[in-house]
């Protein structure tokens, strides 16, 4: 599913974040930047040891919840990894939504500062950190849409959702945003164009 946000594109796909050839991908990291399971484990496995080596060297103090830091992408298709720290879900009354929004905004700021034209996000905080997917998708999408409307960059933001249930939760929220849909993709993966008259 793709929608236009001004001149930018916002896209939802089902897939594996490590396979994305966007200029940057976002890691669902922890505040110690210590690696882990889920997205974090998959990125470090697929990207090789240079990502952790750079993380340790440049950010020995870690990264606070709601913030994000940049490393190279090692042998990943993506050139950069933005390590973002979403909140742990504690019932919703401990600033979780604000921290989650800040993690997305901070990641986008890092991407723009690095002149990335495309960035792929996983669903931050909805795995090991236990954030309910429907609530997280509302915050994730409204934050990204507001950023794109205000900044008109990066050109492409893609949410890479690991399973159909998560994809459907995000798609249901995105449909309520009143944004113009992009034309459906042809089987060859190219946007369908109407013939010229």
CA atoms of 101 and 119, how far apart (whole Å): 16
Residue whose CB is less far from ligand APR, 129 or 147? 129
47 touches 18 (CB < 8 A): yes
150 touches 1 (CB < 8 A): no
CA atoms of 46 and 111, how far apart (whole Å): 21
Other Cβ atoms within 10 Å of 137 Cβ, number:
25
Q: Which two tokens stand for residue 112?
A: 């723009």
Residue whose CB is less far from ligand APR, 4 or 16? 16
Give the count of residues interacting with ligand APR (CB under 6 A): 25
In the chain, what is the straight-line distance between the N-terminal and C-terminal CA atoms, in Å? 27
CA atoms of 104 and 42, how far apart (whole Å): 20
Q: Binding to ligand APR by residue 22, rule CB under 6 A?
A: no
Q: Binding to ligand APR by residue 10, rule CB under 6 A?
A: no
Which ranges constitute the DSSP H helices of 59-185?
Answer: 96-113, 133-151, 164-175
39 touches 78 (CB < 8 A): no
Residue whose CB is less far from ligand APR, 6 or 130? 130
Q: Binding to ligand APR by residue 55, rule CB under 6 A?
A: no
Please identify, among the stretches 28-36, 50-58, 59-67, 184-192, the one whose residues bind ligand APR according to the rule CB under 6 A. Answer: 28-36
Q: Binding to ligand APR by residue 138, rule CB under 6 A?
A: no
Q: Which of 95, 70, 91 is nearest to 81 (CA)?
A: 70
Q: Indicate if 40 belongs to the active site.
A: yes
Q: Binding to ligand APR by residue 162, rule CB under 6 A?
A: yes
For the bound state, the minimum distance from the C-beta of residue 177 to ligand APR, rounded and expressed in Å, comes to 21
Q: Binding to ligand APR by residue 62, rule CB under 6 A?
A: no
Site for ligand APR in 72-111 (CB under 6 A): 86
Q: Which of 16, 40, 155, 163 is catalytic?
A: 40
Residue whose CB is less far from ligand APR, 103 or 153? 103
* Interface contacts to ligand APR, rule CB under 6 A: 16-18, 28-30, 36-42, 86, 122-129, 160, 162, 166
Which sequence positions are flagged as catalytic? 40
């Amino acid at each position: 599913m793709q929608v236009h946000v001004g001149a930018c594109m916002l896209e939802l796909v089902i897939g594996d974040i490590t396979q994305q050839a966007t200029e940057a991908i976002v890691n669902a990291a922890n505040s110690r930047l210590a690696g882990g399971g889920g997205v974090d484990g998959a990125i470090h496995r697929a990207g090789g040891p240079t990502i952790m080596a750079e993380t340790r060297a440049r950010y020995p103090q870690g990264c606070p919840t709601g913030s994000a830091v940049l490393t190279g992408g090692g042998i990943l298709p993506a050139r950069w990894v933005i390590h973002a720290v979403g909140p742990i879900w504690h019932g919703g009354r401990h600033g979780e939504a604000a921290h989650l929004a800040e993690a997305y905004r901070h990641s986008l700021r890092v991407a723009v500062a690095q002149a990335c034209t495309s960035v792929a996000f996983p669903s931050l905080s909805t795995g090991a950190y236990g954030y309910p997917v429907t609530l997280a998708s509302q915050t994730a999408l409204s934050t990204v849409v507001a950023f794109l409307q205000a900044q008109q960059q990066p050109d492409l933001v893609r949410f890479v959702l690991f399973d159909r249930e998560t994809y459907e939760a995000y798609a249901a929220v995105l449909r309520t945003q009143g944004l113009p849909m992009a034309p459906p993709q042809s089987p060859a993966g190219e946007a369908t164009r109407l013939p010229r008259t």
